Amino acid sequence: MTLQPSATFHLHSETATTGEESQPWFAMEASIISALSTIPRLAAFATSPSTVGNAGEGASREVQQMEESGRGVTLKMRQTWLRTVLVGLIGAVVASLYPATSTVCPAWTIQVVDTAGNPLSGAFVRQVWKDYSVESASHEQDVHTDENGYVSFPERTVRSSWLGRTFGVISNTVSLGVHASYGPSAYVLAYGHTVGGKRLEGSATYQAGKPLAANLVTRVSDLHLK
């Protein structure tokens, strides 16, 4: 019982020293008890169904937004990919239908001679050319040699698309089988003057990728034997 006045005196002495009025100890205790009493209410609020439900709804909404965003990105990527493929297919079709020029036979100058190497002047010469992959009929041009036995033919070309050439190859294969021919072909036929049922004849053939023949050698042919 003698300690209570000492505690009270000590509090009053502290107030006099600092110059400030301190709260009584029972007021501080009341504040602490009031603060502690709010903890159960905060816990109850945090664990209440409405609070948990709102938090769950917010999380579900965020997940749904993320899923929708992911689906949107995937859909855009798919649309971009389909658009790219479609443009590529259209470009390939246009390119396959566009006709390009290809050479059937280069420009050809050839000299017609006999077996002794003598030039044949005024000999009849025929050139025949055809691209079997794209043409159904061959072409011909007839000329006569000059005084030195020479004759010249211009370059022979044909215009065709990749699709048309592919179709021609397939068509030849189906219709002719092992006898089908493909690609460019050209040759030259020469005939000399007929004397006593005989004449000089000869031919020269062009093969793609190989040099053109410079001379066409003719030999005697007996027309009565044909």
- Domain residues of the chain, as ranges? 3-46, 100-225
* Strand partners of residue 46: none
Strand 150-153 and strand 108-113: pairing? antiparallel
**79-89 mean pLDDT:** 85
C-alpha to C-alpha distance for 162 and 149, rounded to whole angstroms = 40
pLDDT of amino acid 2: 42
222 SS3 class: strand
User: Could you tell me which residue, 178 or 118, shows the higher pLDDT?
Assistant: 118
Q: pTM to 2 decimals?
A: 0.58
Mean pLDDT estimate for the chain: 77
**205-223 mean pLDDT:** 91
Q: 194 pLDDT band (50/70/90 cuts)?
A: confident
User: Could you tell me which residue, 99 or 188, shows the higher pLDDT?
Assistant: 188
User: Could you tell me which residue, 92 or 71, shows the higher pLDDT?
Assistant: 92
**22-28 mean pLDDT:** 49
pLDDT of amino acid 54: 53
- The predicted-structure confidence for 113-127, as pLDDT tens digits, reads as follows 999 999 999 999 999
**Residues 6 or more apart from 200 whose CB is under 8 A from it?**
114, 120, 123, 190, 191, 192, 193, 218, 219, 220, 221
Q: How far is CA 18 from CA 8, 11, 12, 187, in A?
A: 16, 11, 10, 128
Token reading at 32:
């602490």
Whether residue 45 has pLDDT greater than 60: no
- The predicted-structure confidence for 151-161, as pLDDT tens digits, reads as follows 999 999 999 88
Alpha helix (H) ranges present in 132-182? 162-176
Element (H, E) at 25: helix 25-46
The yes/no answer on whether domain 100-225 falls in CATH 2.60.40.1120 is yes
Whether residue 20 has pLDDT greater than 80: no
